[in-house]
Amino acid sequence: MEAKAVEGDAFFIVTRGRSRKGFCRGCVGRVEGETPSGELLGLVYNGGRPKSRGIVRTENTCPLTRHQAQLLLFVTTPSKRLELLCNAPLFKAICDLSQDDVVVVKHKKGPQPGRVKNLMQIGRKESDDELHMLGFEVEFVDSDHTLSSKKPVPLPMFNAADIIRVVPSASVPLGLHWKNGQYGALNKKAVTRISSMPSAGPTGNPRHVKDGKEPRRARGPAAAALEVGSMVEVVSSSGVTVYGVVRWLGVPLRKTEEWAGIELDYEVTGCSDGKYGNQRYFTCKANTALFVPVTKCSPDSRFACSSMGPETRRSTDTPPVPSFDDSAEYAPPIPESEALSLLVGRMKGIQGHVNSCYLDATLFSLFSSSVTLDNIWQRPAEAEQPITCSLRSIVSCLRRQGFVPAESVTSFRKELGCNTFQTDEKDPEEFITVLFQKVLCIEPLLKLRSRGETSQGSYTFQIIVEKEQMGQVPTVQQLLDTSCLSSDLKFEEVPSCLMVQMPRFGNKYKMFNHIIPSTELDITDLLHNSPRECFVCGCLAQYECFHCLPDRKLQPGRIKQYCSVCNTQVHSHPSRQGHSPKALEVPADVPCDTPVPRHVMQLFAVLCIQTSHYVAYVKYGPDPNSWLFFDSMADRCGDDQSGYNIPEVQACSEIGIFLAQPEEELARASPSQAPELVRRLLCDSYMFLYQNPATPSSKPSHEE
């Protein structure tokens, strides 16, 4: 199929993107041309009638055959069309329906089995631009006899989305009820039965006759469901899975078997714009056309897995085996250069299901791009428990395919042990503690020492401050400094990963309207028994003063420590005479005048909460603008019972641009005037995740 559809026979459905003039998600249109920048000029239908013309980006559409477009047009709601489209195997089976195929349709009495009797054309075609919609006349199967009677009443008619199951054709065709003329039940709509509907013969074939074309010859099982417009995935020789839509099928020059021309979801170096060899088979954006033998293609598992309704899940005790089980071997974190192409889009990231957002957001933050946990979490695969293997396969799937279906997370939640993890709303710190302790078997990331006491372990750090101790708009650095100093806590060593919880309780209470993210966290002055610089002169500090912390004349919010000379001087000021600076335990043999090395940790993710729902911001590389926003339940396909969540990952370089401003500017910025994703980061932050750029120091707790 050529992209420049001169013959007017290329159709599409808008699958994603913002609503634009004339187009919205679920709109069906006909391709009328292509702009030089690769956008589609299309005619949008309302029912079978052309409604308006518009432009839509090719990558936001999915190509349809005329037959598919006609079937989808009779489905009145756009969301039902997309839902059906996402269920690729079912949609494929519906497109291939033959006379007397048994189907199960939605009915007011509940699901009803019936036989497809006729394919119906709906609408009068008054101009070439009009399109007949297609529906199915279905005869219900009676419980007493095989078929319900010979009554001459019109058979009920159903659209493609009414069909919830297709049962393979019966071996013996039964009596047909071909009729002509008007279909009474539909007001004023002209309905014609078309006799081109293939009839299933005694052996149940052929099932591939369409649009008057020759039936395709039989293919291997992997390719059985392939046709132009199918959404497929291909595993490349390097093990990476790529996704796309079949644009061409056939035998290329100098080949003997059938190949598929696939338009990929994103650019891949070495791919073409639709040419293979010197021959053009279709047209698409440069570097997005991939040609492979059809046997290498399989249906896009992201849609196949996700379209399983909860009914399917409930019917078995053990969830279905995830399709990616064999890829459970180690996959490295997604490099910065590949993160956008692999992760950005709808149906990306980790698919949410029943309050799983706390877990989806945490896993995405910790594992998508960060190397931190990989450095800590190095255990031989044979020493792992089943739950560790489940986590490893979730991580591998995320890193290889950019998408983890809800089923995998659901089974992982079951393995976490406590029932409440399966269904309840939880907070990330609860999950993190279980994850690190039970699944990863890592000893506490933080070793905290309160003065005079032995150290205690922890996985996350909860900020505890009084509101009055802080300015209106604190930074994470200020909150950490103040919290450590007022609770008299020090870190025993530089942690490999520091997860700082903001002073708020879920969605019920937050101490600050907004908090400035510190992209770097300097913990030099929070380390126990480590040399520190005098705040004033830079010499080795010997005293620390908690009361100087908020001093407006002395950079409020920063920790103050002094050499003995400066300590005396600073505290000779009348306003500071009530202070009680504490002597520091200075390690022996530290030269007094060499600069103290700084220990700086880097922000790599932020978990945010808004109306009980957790989302994540992730920094996917060293570039300051390399930020992603992830929501495991960004959208929903279908209703509460049978639908599923659509996870989405967005690039949000605006975070980097915003955070690049000087701290004083940041403190003055008004969240309500910032871009929406910046506003959410400022106002909804729940936990900031920092990593140590140097070699991590934590070790597994059970060394065998």
CB nearer to Zn ion: give 16 or 558. Answer: 558
Closer to Zn ion at the Cβ: 240 or 539? 539
CB within 8 Å of 315: residues ≥ 6 apart: none
The distance of closest approach from Cβ of residue 464 to Zn ion in the complex, given in angstroms and rounded to an integer, is 21
Residue 335 preceded by cis peptide, ω within 30: no
For Zn ion, the closer of residues 438 and 576 by Cβ is 576
Shortest reach from residue 597's CB to Zn ion, in Å = 18
Distances, alpha carbon 485 to alpha carbons 300, 463, 528, 544, 561, in Å: 54, 11, 12, 9, 11
Distance CA 512, CA 546 (A): 22
Of 570 and 651, CB closest to Zn ion = 570
**Beta-carbon contacts of residue 493 (< 8 Å; ≥ 6 apart):** 447, 527, 697
At residue 319, φ and ψ (nearest 5 deg) are: -65, 155
Alpha helices in 487-557 (DSSP H): none
Q: Which residues pair with 33 in a beta bridge?
A: 41
Which residues lie below 8 Å from residue 604, measured CB to CB, with a gap of 6+? 365, 369, 370, 372, 618, 619, 689, 690, 691
Give the three-state DSSP class for 176: coil
Q: Is the Cβ of residue 292 or residue 536 nearer to Zn ion in the bound state? A: 536
**Separation between Cα atoms, residue 294 and residue 276, nearest integer Å:** 15
Please, what is the minimum distance in Å from the beta carbon of residue 565 to Zn ion? Answer: 5
CB of 71 or CB of 566, closer to Zn ion: 566
DSSP for 402-467? SEE-HHHHHHHHHHTSSTHHHHS---HHHHHHHIIIIIS-B--SEEEEETTS-EEEESSEE----G
- Nearer to Zn ion by C-beta: 352 or 581? 581
Least distance CB 699 / Zn ion (angstroms) = 38
Residues at the interface with Zn ion (CB under 5 A): 534, 536-537, 539, 545, 547-548, 563, 566, 576, 579
Nearer to Zn ion, 395 or 545 (CB): 545
Radius of gyration of the chain (CA): 31
Active site residue 357: yes
Shortest Å distance, C-beta 598 to Zn ion: 17
Question: Please, what is the minimum distance in Å from the beta carbon of residue 577 to Zn ion?
Answer: 9
Q: Could you tell me which residues are beta bridge partners of residue 690?
A: 498, 603
| Residue located via tokens 């008007």 | 182
Minimum CB separation from Zn ion for residue 584, in Å?
A: 13
| Phi, psi angle pair for 206, to nearest 5° | -85, 155
| Nearer to Zn ion among residue 87 and residue 542 (C-beta) | 542
Question: Using H for helix, E for strand and C for coil, what is the string for 348-368?
Answer: CEECCCCCCHHHHHHHHHHHC
| Three-class SS state of 600 | strand
Q: What is the DSSP code string of 575-595?
A: GGTT---EE--PPTT--TTSP
Please say which residue, 389 or 554, places its beta carbon nearer to Zn ion: 554
Q: In the 8-state DSSP scheme, what is residue 516?
A: B
At position 215, the amino acid (one-letter code) is P
Lookup result for tokens 């103290």: 596
Spatial separation of the C-alpha atoms in residues 26 and 81, rounded to whole Å: 6
Least distance from Zn ion to the Cβ atom of residue 575, Å: 10
Cα angle, residue 308 at apex, residues 302 and 313 outer, rounded to 5°: 125
Looking at the Cβ atoms of 11 and 543, the one nearer to Zn ion is 543
Cβ-based burial of 318 (10 A; exposed 0-12, middle 13-18, buried ≥19)? exposed
Told to judge if 613 belongs to the known catalytic residues of this protein, a careful annotator would answer yes
* Smallest distance, Zn ion to C-beta of residue 555, A: 13
Give the list of residues 6+ apart from residue 77 with CB closer than 8 angstroms, or none. Answer: 26
Which one from 357, 534, 637, 652 is the annotated catalytic residue? Answer: 357
Place of tokens 């399983």: 308
Nearest partner of 473 among 609, 331, 666, 328, judged by Cα? 666
Query: Is the distance from CB of 140 to CB of 178 less than 8 angstroms?
Result: no
- To Zn ion, the closest distance from the beta carbon of 566 in angstroms equals 3
C-beta of 34 vs 551, nearer to Zn ion: 551
Q: Identify whether the C-beta of residue 631 lies closer than 8 Å to the C-beta of residue 612.
A: no
Residue-wise burial string across 286-315, b where 16 or more C-beta atoms lie within 10 A, e elsewhere: eebbbbbebbbbbbbbbbbbbbbebeebee
Rounded distance between C-alpha atoms, residue 484 and residue 465, angstroms: 9
Active-site hit among 353, 613, 637, 652: 613
CB distance 209 to 215 below 8 Å? yes
Q: Least Å distance between CB 545 and Zn ion?
A: 3
Q: What is the C-alpha separation between 494 and 517, in angstroms, rounded?
A: 20
Q: How far is the CB of 637 from Zn ion (least distance, A)?
A: 60
Catalytic residues: 357, 613
